[in-house]
Amino acid sequence: MSKTKVGIINVSGYAGIELARLLYQHPQVELTSVTGRSATGQKLGTVFPHLAGIDLTIEAKLGEVDLAFSAMPHQESAKEIIPLLDRGIKVVDISADFRLKDAAEYLSWYGFTHPAPQLLEQAVYGLTELYRSQVASAQLVANPGCYPTGAILALAPVVKAGLIEPDIVIDSKSGVSGAGRTLSQQTHYSEVNEDATAYALDGHRHLPEIIQELKRLHPGQSPSVTFVPHLIPMTRGILTTCYAPLVSGKVADSGKKKLKQLYLDFYQDEPFVKVVELPPHTKHTWGNNLCLIHPTVDQRTGRLIVISCIDNLVKGAAGQAIQNMNLMLGLPETTGLQALAIYP
Amino acid sequence: MSKTKVGIINVSGYAGIELARLLYQHPQVELTSVTGRSATGQKLGTVFPHLAGIDLTIEAKLGEVDLAFSAMPHQESAKEIIPLLDRGIKVVDISADFRLKDAAEYLSWYGFTHPAPQLLEQAVYGLTELYRSQVASAQLVANPGCYPTGAILALAPVVKAGLIEPDIVIDSKSGVSGAGRTLSQQTHYSEVNEDATAYALDGHRHLPEIIQELKRLHPGQSPSVTFVPHLIPMTRGILTTCYAPLVSGKVADSGKKKLKQLYLDFYQDEPFVKVVELPPHTKHTWGNNLCLIHPTVDQRTGRLIVISCIDNLVKGAAGQAIQNMNLMLGLPETTGLQALAIYP
Amino acid sequence: MSKTKVGIINVSGYAGIELARLLYQHPQVELTSVTGRSATGQKLGTVFPHLAGIDLTIEAKLGEVDLAFSAMPHQESAKEIIPLLDRGIKVVDISADFRLKDAAEYLSWYGFTHPAPQLLEQAVYGLTELYRSQVASAQLVANPGCYPTGAILALAPVVKAGLIEPDIVIDSKSGVSGAGRTLSQQTHYSEVNEDATAYALDGHRHLPEIIQELKRLHPGQSPSVTFVPHLIPMTRGILTTCYAPLVSGKVADSGKKKLKQLYLDFYQDEPFVKVVELPPHTKHTWGNNLCLIHPTVDQRTGRLIVISCIDNLVKGAAGQAIQNMNLMLGLPETTGLQALAIYP
Amino acid sequence: MSKTKVGIINVSGYAGIELARLLYQHPQVELTSVTGRSATGQKLGTVFPHLAGIDLTIEAKLGEVDLAFSAMPHQESAKEIIPLLDRGIKVVDISADFRLKDAAEYLSWYGFTHPAPQLLEQAVYGLTELYRSQVASAQLVANPGCYPTGAILALAPVVKAGLIEPDIVIDSKSGVSGAGRTLSQQTHYSEVNEDATAYALDGHRHLPEIIQELKRLHPGQSPSVTFVPHLIPMTRGILTTCYAPLVSGKVADSGKKKLKQLYLDFYQDEPFVKVVELPPHTKHTWGNNLCLIHPTVDQRTGRLIVISCIDNLVKGAAGQAIQNMNLMLGLPETTGLQALAIYP
């Protein structure tokens, strides 16, 4: 049986090379074409020695494939994708270009006029756990941002159940690979090592994405969300701590136990979301597609605390993209994604 | 002119050795005696090679000094200190034993009955910026915990001014040295490296300390505080992000500018607190006694965000202890503490 | 077709949990029993959350298996293994107990009298690339130490070809996981982070193992080997730099090119050894079973320099053990070991 | 008494900002002018917040000073320095431009024709421990490279005493700050973290500097030196491990003890070189000007092993530069350099 051919547009960033790594061990698809913004004409294994097992040359233009991943930066990604869609090719877009439903947000948050607003409705937001059936029949999936993945999965059960007041604080701590492979003073080893800092205090581009999805989970409610991302000295991983007041009387009596059961029920059949007993460690997701979630109640204040952990390059990017691809191709959702986290 | 003699009870933890390092370069006092729970009888420089410049032997019992620092664990510290106080010796206690004013809290939070409740009133809480004059005339100073130092300094101006609603979330990210030198799976390099995690979700012992001080800043108001500490892979540094709703109408109009001015005014003469323009980095405090504070407003939600950075072993422990000592001895507050942070 | 049953004696160290991780994704064998020195009676996934996908309880005694891995400490490992051998079970020993051919070395290097010297001859030294056929028919394989794996693979081609004088310096840099999961001041995060140090200057236990194998590669020559291991602040990985004078006239004329060809020929059919063009990075082996080797010549001095990189827990322990298991069970050597390194 | 005015040419690299940090706490000199290749016109404390205590603006041209430090890159440094020398200003050059005595080496190692070969003889090589009296009377001091500082101090006693054969291997492990503040893939956090690698296998520019000085220590002998630098995941510190055969019969009988005494005697009056009992840690030099040296003998092979540790930005650059400045200005050598290492 021949494998489905897939390709990666812009393999040379961290999301792109992580896609290549994961696709290499996928039993049902074959990575047949990769493009790059740089390094065109070079062997993939020359530029990225850990991918030497993959015998491909970085091309300027994507070859014939059945499904393409785009790991281009926003704005450029849409340009690459639109022609592919016209040719009937399925696409998973790692960029932000089709995540937001409201075209106006692209102007205010990303500074460009969206080139194809009509596609925003058609595109499926690829947080698989929330939109599984739509993903399965989609031609275009907008893969969620890394922060939104951890934050929305952490909050979805209580938001949907109407258990929290819409005053939400999301405090995220991310490894440096989330800032990409591009060089900057902010990713220089000597600057980042032994350092912690907050950034984007005036509003991170992932905020409208989080708000959009929280609203869809609880239509009619407009949550007031403060989201502060932090950079901490590790390569992979995002730990997100969410805070919100519990709606009076709904959880307080039975407390943590009831809350935990709500989460267990909500995620009971999910292969990649685990509700855990103890505060989770990002390290327990290193290199794999899991999202670990720990909900609890601050009994003194009646506040919900939920913590989630993901590997930003896997569940937060390439892994979730493949999870979506599996559904789009009619394959079992976990195919090629079963490797355990590497620890320690 | 002879220097004042000072000693360290339990030099062998991280707070103790940091005291020794800083006292070595202090021009007005002389470290003349150090005790240890282990390594008694050994030269200080044998156990801690970086202290080889200090010619002292670790003793079982403190020699004659004018002022003593206790870096003993809680409960044991009080036992050591009480006899010293009886002999008229000044003491700065790095432990928690005299921080809380309500003796009952020791039973509920630390699990022991306080041996000298009458001293709790006499002891001065050594957050120098808030209690400078009391520290100057104190015999016993209770040096604040590392987390409370960063959190209270971040919140003091707005709490005192009544600008925030008492619904406060404090999310702290700490380096591993805060967990001390004692061995545990939680401080094993291979477990901590490339990992982030939250802990003490049922209530950290620094919470009552934070609440006590916020109440003293705004008597009559009982703040609802959720405090979640996190461990991140670095040795030194605490970054604390505080969130609270601004009281309607009081800041909104002029916004960030007014808020910043409030902080600049509040800390205008402080040598060790700097209000900074950009989100601060823990690395900018590495090895020195500064607390960097960045207040801002999330305009979308009307929420205050304040971020502070300290070196947990300096401003969060040994440095602040020396700052207090300087006042207690009538020396200029900054003596011996002027070294710049080491960067990168 | 039923899978072969395998077990792990002492799953609770880093080599043990890495074996469990890799065996979980092995398609031909099933991990059916694990024992522990601690945590007996607990679920594997409770103690090690990243292994939650494996539904096993840590037992006190190994269940029925066809092949067992022992990850016990030396001396204790032999005690566990001998009864298994008597019952006809195949064993891969991760400890040092059957690596040395000369029983006397156990007394001088490990401080105990070997309990079964007769087995030392029977045991096959499991550096797969050198002893492939013997491993395939062995009942007992002594899995090499992490340092010897990197050092011997780096030197084997030139030693066998008689191209170097027997004056060899081996300088190794290891991540901290090599020191195991046991707690010590030397593995405390705050002590190891931002630190490099050498250790075992009087002779590391892996030295006799290295010498034994270099002698077997070039019988009649007794190499003078200085081996210095260093601990550097990372979790996984060993980079080994080897230095030796080239035999006069044999390489000098054609230089690096000839040398490289020798290595390419020596390792041409090896799935897990790659001779690379540029100085290798340990990161390019993170989590996988590769050994990367870069041989070159210091033209100014006529000295050989060879650098090798491995993941100490994979090719240096658990991965190589499974590579050996595959041969012992008649499976393709690479089964279950094809995952690419995780990068970055 | 007025302080001596000093300036820094190119303050904006890591050596430059470390000079600024150390000069700030120097009691006898005043930093009055700093220039930069970028950030001209900005306050020093705006670009480098940890230097906010220094009230200086980054200038395009150096103001009037009595002594200047140049932290310019090689080739550009000489251009800046020559006019200063003509005006009688004393200069400590952190670059390589005046380290080598043979002008021809600049063409072969640095790729440029030296603009002022006559100054090479006049310039004093600023390894203070070897050239103290010459430094004191010099107008131009060439501050040694970071690797040469650690390597030459490690080897000087045995080379001078003629105790080793001239077959020397120098294996150095450096923190990332040694690569400077300039951006490159090689200093990106995600690439460097959890990675070790060797580089410059065809010859590092510090090699001719090392050989020159070893020859001066033992005229008539031309040492065959292989030097391999490695990059390891830490910010500061260089650990250098040196290997060489001991001259037969000279040390063997009394061994390590005799060797250690030789080192103790050689460095007995040195304030910044400590001969230590145990293998040293780079962490024990973090932020200060010490070089720790541990000599030993591999008894099995008769080989000398010497290990040295320095902070590459202090003893390996800015600290040693100030040590030299002190001598050039007739100040006590240790002025402003007494701070202990920061640990942990």
Give yes or no for residue A38 having a pLDDT over 90. Answer: no
Q: What is the mean pLDDT of residues C95-122?
A: 98
Q: What is the pLDDT of residues D66-78, one digit of tens each?
A: 999 999 999 999 9
Q: Measured between CB atoms, does D107 come within 8 Å of chain C? A: no
Taking CA atoms, what residue in D is nearest to A179? D190
pLDDT at D1: 66
Q: Do A286 and C342 touch (CB under 8 A)?
A: yes
Is D190 strand, coil or helix?
helix
Instruction: Report residue D248's pLDDT band, with 50, 70 and 90 as the boundaries.
Output: confident
Q: Residue A216: exposed, middle, or buried by beta-carbon count in 10 A (0-12, 13-18, 19+)?
A: middle
Taking the Cβ of residue B16 and every Cβ of chain A, the question of whether any pair is shorter than 8 Å is answered with: no
Q: Tell me what pLDDT residue B1 has.
A: 66
Query: Given this model, what pLDDT does residue D254 score?
Result: 67
How, if at all, do strands B197-198 and B273-275 pair? unpaired
CB-CB neighbors (< 8 A) of C194 in chain B: 235
Res C77: pLDDT:
98
- Residues of C labelled as active-site residues: 146
Q: How far is B306 from chain A (nearest CA, A)?
A: 10
Q: Percent of chain C scored above 90 by pLDDT? A: 97
pLDDT digits (tens, 9 = 90+) for B55-93: 999 999 999 999 999 999 999 999 999 999 999 999 999
The answer on pLDDT for C155 being more than 80 is yes
User: Would you call D225 exposed, middle or buried from its count of C-beta atoms within 10 A (0-12, 13-18, 19+)?
Assistant: buried
Averaged pLDDT, C210-214: 98
Going by pLDDT thresholds of 50, 70 and 90, the confidence category of residue A258 is very high
Interface test with C, best of A14, A21, A48, A50 (most C CBs within 10 A): A50
d(CA C283, CA B344): 24
DSSP state of D188: B
Beta-carbon count within 10 A of C300 CB: 14
Instruction: Tell me the C-alpha distance between B105 and A246, whole Å.
Output: 27
Q: Would you call D196 and C237 a contact, using CB atoms and an 8 Å cutoff?
A: yes
Confidence of residue A252 (pLDDT cuts 50, 70, 90): low
* Burial of B59: CB neighbours in 10 Å, binned 0-12, 13-18, 19+: middle
Nearest chain C Cα distance for residue D6, angstroms: 32
Q: Do A239 and B197 lie within an 8 Å CB cutoff?
A: yes
Interval B319-343 mean pLDDT: 98
Which residues of chain C lie closer than 8 angstroms to D201, CB-CB?
A: 279, 296, 298, 305
User: Which of A230, A283, A307 has the CB atom closest to B173's CB atom?
Assistant: A230
Mean of the per-residue pLDDT values of chain A: 97
**Token code pair at residue C98:** 């059957």
Question: What pLDDT is attached to residue C252?
Answer: 60
Mean pLDDT (chain D, rounded): 96
What is the structure's pLDDT at B50?
Answer: 96
Of C50, C235, C283, nearest to A341 by CB-CB distance is C50
List domains and CATH numbers for chain B. Answer: 4-143+316-328 (3.40.50.720), 147-312 (3.30.360.10)
Cβ contact A49–C276 (<8 Å): yes
- Res B38: pLDDT: 87
The chains in contact with chain D, meaning 3 or more Cβ pairs closer than 8 Å, are: A, B, C
pLDDT of residue B249: 76
Which pLDDT score, from 0 to 100, does residue D252 have? 60
Of C187, C193, C235, which has the smallest distance from its Cβ to B235's Cβ? C193
* Partner-chain residue, chosen from C193, C241, C279, that has the shortest CB–CB distance to D171: C241
Question: D286 in contact with B at a CB cutoff of 8 Å?
Answer: yes
pLDDT digits (tens, 9 = 90+) for D191-214: 999 999 999 999 999 999 999 999
Chain A partners within 8 Å of B243 (Cβ): 169, 171, 226, 228, 243
**Inter-chain touch C49–A276, beta carbons under 8 Å:** yes
C285 — pLDDT class (breaks 50, 70, 90): very high
Binding-face residues of A in 196-215 toward B, CB within 8 A:
196-199, 201-203
For the stretch A63-98, pLDDT in tens is 999 999 999 999 999 999 999 999 999 999 999 999
Q: Verify whether the Cβ–Cβ distance B187 to C184 is below 8 Å.
A: no
For residue range C3-26, list pLDDT tens digits in order: 999 999 999 999 999 999 999 999
Q: Confirm or reject contact between A177 and chain C (CB < 8 A).
A: yes
What's the pLDDT score for residue B10? Answer: 98
- Using a CB-CB cut-off of 8 Å, the residues of chain B touching C14 are 190
Using alpha carbons, select from C68, C144, C90 the residue that is nearest to residue C315. C144
State the pLDDT at residue B184: 93
Identify which of A197, A305, A344 has the shortest CB distance to residue B279. Answer: A197
Structure tokens given for C239: 């980079």
C38 in contact with B, Cβ within 8 Å: no
Give the list of residues 6+ apart from residue C242 with CB closer than 8 angstroms, or none. Answer: C151, C154, C155, C168, C169, C170, C171, C304, C305, C306, C307, C308
> Hey, what's the torsion of the CAs at A205, A208, A213, A214, to 10 degrees?
120
**Best residue in B188, B194, B231, B342 to probe C by mutation, most C CBs within 10 Å?**
B188
Inter-chain CB proximity D342 and B287 less than 8 Å: yes
**Comparing A167 with D1, which gets the higher pLDDT?**
A167
Q: Which chains touch A (3 or more CB pairs under 8 A)?
A: B, C, D
Average pLDDT over residues B137-161: 98
Q: Which amino acid is at B85?
A: L
Distance from CA of C188 to the nearest CA of B (A): 5
- The answer to whether residue B251 scores a pLDDT higher than 80 is no
What pLDDT is stored for residue A85 in this prediction? 98
Q: Is B324 on the interface with C (CB under 8 A)?
A: no
Cβ–Cβ under 8 Å, residues B282 and A197: yes
pLDDT for D249-283, tens place per residue?
Answer: 777 656 899 999 999 999 999 999 999 999 999 99
Chain C contact present for B177, CB below 8 A: yes
- pLDDT band of residue A140 (cuts 50, 70, 90) is very high
Yes or no, beta carbons of A226 and B171 under 8 Å apart? no
Shortest alpha-carbon distance between residue C72 and chain B (Å): 19
Is D226–C305 a contact, with Cβ atoms under 8 angstroms apart? yes
Q: Which chain D residue's Cα is nearest to C190?
A: D344
The answer on pLDDT for C254 being more than 80 is: no
Q: Inter-axis angle of helices B207-217 and B146-160, to 10 degrees?
A: 20
Can you give the three-state secondary structure of chain C, one letter per residue?
CCCEEEEEECCCCHHHHHHHHHHHCCCCEEEEEEECCCCCCCEHHHHCHHHCCCCCEEECCCCCCCEEEECCCCCHHHHHHHHHHHCCCEEEECCCCCCCCCHHHHHHHHCCCCCCHHHHHHCEECCHHHHHHHHHCCCEEECCCHHHHHHHHHHHHHHHCCCECCEEEEEEEECHHHHCCCCCHHHEHHHHCCCCEECCCCCCCCHHHHHHHHHHHCCCCCCEEEEEEEECCCCCCEEEEEEEEECCCCCCCCCHHHHHHHHHHHCCCCCCEEECCCCCEHHHHCCCCCEEEEEEEECCCCEEEEEEEECCCHHHHHHHHHHHHHHHCCCCCCCCCCCCCCCC
Given the cut 0.90, state whether the ipTM is greater than it: yes
CA distances from D182 to A205, B190, C290, D36, D57 (A): 28, 30, 32, 14, 21
CB < 8 Å to A344, chain B: 190-191, 193
| Tokens encoding D10 | 């190119």
User: CA–CA separation, D323 vs B247, rounded Å?
Assistant: 56
- A146 among known catalytic residues: yes
Instruction: Inform me whether the pLDDT recorded for B204 exceeds 60.
Output: yes
**pTM for the structure as a whole:** 0.98
Sign (positive or negative) of CA dihedral C101, C102, C103, C109: negative
Asked if D319 is an interface residue toward chain B (Cβ–Cβ < 8 A), one would say no
Q: Percentage of chain A surpassing pLDDT 70? A: 99
How high is the pLDDT of residue D2? Answer: 87
Q: Which of residues 227-246 of C touch D (CB under 8 A)?
A: 228, 230, 232-237, 239, 241, 243, 245
Residue B46 has pLDDT above 90, yes or no: yes
